[in-house]
Amino acid sequence: MVVGDFAIDLDTVVVGAGPGGYVAAIHAAELGQKVTVIEREYIGGVCLNVGCIPSKALIEAAHHYQHAMDSQEMGLQVTAAKLDFDKTIEWKNNVVARLTGGVASLFKKHKIDVIWGNAYLKDSHSLRVISDDDKAQTYTFNNLIIATGSHPIEIPNFKFEGRVLDSTGALNLTEVPKELVVVGGGYIGSELASAYANLGSHVTILEGGDMILANYEKDLVKVVEHHFSEQGVDIYTNAIAKNAEQTDKDVTVTFEVDGEEKKITADYVIVSVGRRPNTSNMGLEQAGVSVDERGLIPVDAQSRSNIPNIYAIGDVTKGYALAHKASYEGKVAAEAISGKPTVIDYHAMPAVCYTDTSIATTGLTLAEAKEKGFDAKKAQFPFAANGRAISMGETDGFIRLVFEKETGVLLGAQMVGSNASDLISELTLAIECGSTVEDVALTIHPHPSLSEAVMDTADVAIGFPTNI
């Protein structure tokens, strides 16, 4: 690319190559647009490089290690199970490389250009990109999709350095800590706590609220808390993290619970108390793009900001900070630019927490359904009554369906247990299609399978609980 003060004309520009940006770019190219992606760090964004994918790879490795160490009930006496953490990290990195390489190949296939650097808007139709070597180039564009994602929140007295880590640092450790403190019991903190507990760390979670995983219902979280207890994880709720003091060998965390000050010395502390949108210092005000008090960009039903040719998707907009939400919105934005009558419809948005006993939800909870005016009911079925779960030794948890009392139309689903992340998709589709609990009950499910528990829950809903 020629560097200079003149402007280079572009068609559709996507700022950010994470799961929102790269999906938006590819779909826009599929629709015939000439697409350019501006990325400052790496293809795949936080999710593929230092978030969703490497964390799930580490969680899976930890799960396998724990099973190898604790399968005596099945008659498996493993006496030589040994963790080679260097090899685990190598495997995790290979998973990342395979996926990010795949995205790069798709960019090449769809003739998507990539410009490396930071983008700064000059007005609603032009921006400037500054590269790492401080070279700058101005570009004009017809349409822009902002997909810059978010970054971890840093709290006072816990600066991200040394043995105080954000989630990225936690996934790049070269050793398994003997003692680990996690500040923040949301889904990221809880997932990392679960993974390292399985790898052999003694983990302490400090949560500022009255429960971990506050976005989920209490009875779902109770199952995860029970599993944490079995893993030896200590959980302090209503805990205020005050400061961290480091040496070259450890870090001491001071926190307060019920007015009493306590200290814990650990190898590392992970701070995971939320994320902020990456919308500052990119010239949004110069382009006239509105931003709310939280730094989020308000958008319409087609992901369009208040400036007609500028769109925003993913973590920079309102709603769950989920990779699949960003990807979905990216497709909508790409189609809107192509003039298609597409709109965002969050009728059923699945969410998953990948703790060792995982939680998955979609649609409405019973309380939410009633708040919206539905005469709603719930039906529940335990994995302890499912043949496949029993044969796997994974009987903790349950599936719950929320449905309209008179019509039986499915409104929502919640579950906690093995493979919840995979089982939730069937129910998301059922909600999107307007299916009833009878439709689910009459759908033949393979035996024996965990998915049978979905059918059994629907049987409970229609009043014929055959297997319980």
Token pair for 305:
């900001």
9 has binding-site annotation: no
426 has binding-site annotation: no
Query: What is the DSSP secondary-structure string of 158-193?
Result: --SBTTEE-HHHHTT-SS--SEEEEE--SHHHHHHH
3-state class (DSSP) for residue 281: coil
11 has binding-site annotation: no
Query: Which residues on neighbouring strands pair with residue 64, listed in sequence order?
Result: none
Count of C-beta atoms within a 10 Å radius of residue 292: 12
Pairing of strands 358-363, 351-353: antiparallel
274 has binding-site annotation: yes
Count of C-beta atoms within a 10 Å radius of residue 395: 15
Q: Judge whether 446 and 466 are in contact, CB under 8 Å.
A: no
Distance CA 268, CA 33 (A): 47
148 has binding-site annotation: yes
Token pair for 346:
């969050």
| Residue 63 parent element (H or E) | helix 52-69
314 has binding-site annotation: no
Distance CA 115, CA 138 (A): 12
State the Cα torsion 419-423-424-430 to the nearest 10°: 180
186 has binding-site annotation: yes
b/e per residue 208-228 (b: at least 16 CB within 10 A): beeebbeebbeebbebbbebb
Question: Active site includes 447?
Answer: yes
3-state class (DSSP) for residue 344: coil
Count CA atoms within 13 Å of residue 18 on its CB side: 33
55 has binding-site annotation: no
315 has binding-site annotation: yes
187 has binding-site annotation: yes
> Backbone phi, then psi, for 178, in 5-degree steps?
-75, -40
> Backbone phi, then psi, for 44, in 5-degree steps?
105, -15
Distance CA 459, CA 277 (A): 43
207 has binding-site annotation: yes
Count of C-beta atoms within a 10 Å radius of residue 262: 14
- Which residue in 64, 226, 347, 447 is the catalytic one? 447
418 has binding-site annotation: no
Helix spans in 70-111 (H): 85-109
21 has binding-site annotation: no
Catalytic residue ranges:
447
Q: Which positions make up the binding site?
A: 56, 148-150, 184-191, 207, 274, 315
Q: Which positions make up the binding site for NAD(+)?
A: 184-191, 207, 274
Q: Which positions make up the binding site for FAD?
A: 56, 148-150, 315
